[in-house]
């Protein structure tokens, strides 16, 4: 009998019409949702660690009413290629710049969630001509307040992390429960959302290649981010790209204190808090996120 968790990942229904595949000059295949057209502005949506572009299912259609929206599965995740490489922040930045070039997008509004926000922030810092605006959801380069739980710490240990990841294959319900810290209330999500997340997290768990990419990215980020903190007070004041940081006040993964510190260090950044929201605020309260983004994008 075929394993139901080793089947191709289907798109969230409202995103299916936007699905496409982009082949970069180096041969890397990326799965993308692209509303197409040549309208301005262009939005590039960047998902977080261990996620896929479907994470934007609640906001993609609304943003598509304001311009072209592009949301890739980052390499190593979802339906994109998973090469044997080091999945560093700088690697993801290079891939996204190549994607923009391939799609003939000179400048874009970048919106990133969690690790995707770190990638977006780094892109804006290093390549400001390519970024018109910057929306950071539940993450940024600022990571001075960290609360790594024991499970995350154990994932950082080579060999042990792989064993823990594979062990989740024994219990689909346990794999699903690993999502709980990322939400205000996982059980409070609509049934269709819970069913989708149950299937999707178990598909991730059964992919050896995605396991390797996830652990590479997690370990790389854990080693890289602390070293950035010393120079951010000098570097961030020079970021003039208009920046909006959106945080859930009840975020248990990335403390809102990091968002508040970002707003102090970077004068171009404005912080908006969503009371009671958790880390995956764009999934559990997409209407609030849409309104915040639309108000920010409105002229004047």
CA angle (106 as vertex; 292, 237 as ends), nearest 5: 55
Evaluated on CA atoms 291, 296, 299, 300, the torsion sign reads positive
The predicted structure's pLDDT at residue 292? 97
Low-confidence ranges of the chain (pLDDT < 70): 1, 38, 148, 300
The predicted structure's pLDDT at residue 38? 63
**In whole angstroms, what is the distance from residue 153 CA to residue 118 CA?**
20
Please report how the helices 208-228 and 160-167 are oriented relative to each other, as an axis angle in degrees rounded to 10.
130
CA angle (190 as vertex; 186, 193 as ends), nearest 5: 75
Neighbour count for residue 41 (Cβ, 10 Å):
15
The predicted structure's pLDDT at residue 2? 83
Q: At which residue do the structure tokens 């770190």 appear? A: 118
* Residue 286: closest CA among 298, 274, 297: 274
Q: At which residue do the structure tokens 């009671």 appear? A: 276
The predicted structure's pLDDT at residue 214? 98
* Residue 293: closest CA among 140, 133, 159, 99: 133
Long-range contacts of 259-264 (CB under 8 A, 24+ apart): 259/140, 259/142, 261/142, 261/144, 261/145, 262/136, 262/140, 262/141, 262/142, 262/236
The predicted structure's pLDDT at residue 1? 53
The predicted structure's pLDDT at residue 145? 73
Q: Would you call 264 helix, strand, or coil by DSSP? A: helix
**In whole angstroms, what is the distance from residue 107 CA to residue 147 CA?**
35
Domains identified in the chain and CATH numbers: 4-148+225-297 (3.40.50.1820)
DSSP character at residue 77: S
């Amino acid at each position: 009998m075929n394993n139901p968790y080793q089947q191709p990942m289907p798109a969230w229904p409202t995103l299916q019409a936007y699905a496409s595949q982009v082949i970069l000059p180096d041969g890397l295949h990326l799965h993308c949702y692209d509303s197409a057209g040549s309208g301005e502005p262009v939005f590039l949506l960047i998902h977080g660690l261990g996620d896929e572009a479907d994470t934007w299912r609640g906001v993609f259609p609304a943003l598509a009413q304001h311009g072209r929206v592009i949301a890739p599965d980052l390499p190593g995740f979802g339906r994109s290629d998973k090469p044997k490489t080091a999945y560093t922040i700088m690697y993801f930045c290079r891939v996204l710049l190549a994607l923009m070039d391939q799609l003939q997008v000179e400048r874009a509004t970048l919106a990133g969630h969690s690790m995707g926000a770190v990638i977006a922030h780094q892109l804006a810092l290093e390549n400001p001509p390519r970024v018109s605006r910057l929306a950071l959801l539940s993450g940024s380069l600022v990571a001075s307040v960290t609360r790594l739980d024991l499970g995350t710490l154990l994932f950082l240990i080579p060999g042990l992390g792989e064993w823990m990841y594979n062990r989740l294959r024994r219990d689909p319900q346990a794999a699903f429960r690993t999502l709980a810290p990322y939400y205000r209330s996982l059980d409070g999500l609509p049934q269709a959302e819970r069913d989708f997340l149950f299937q999707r997290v178990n598909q991730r768990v059964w992919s050896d290649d995605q396991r390797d990419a996830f652990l590479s990215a997690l370990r790389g980020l854990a080693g890289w981010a602390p070293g950035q903190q010393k120079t951010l007070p000098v570097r961030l004041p020079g970021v003039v790209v208009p920046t909006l940081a959106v945080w859930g006040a009840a975020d248990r993964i990335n403390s809102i204190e990091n968002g508040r510190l970002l707003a102090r260090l970077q004068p171009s950044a404005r912080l908006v808090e969503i009371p009671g929201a958790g880390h995956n605020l764009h999934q559990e309260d997409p209407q609030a996120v849409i309104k915040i983004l639309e108000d920010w994008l409105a002229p004047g």
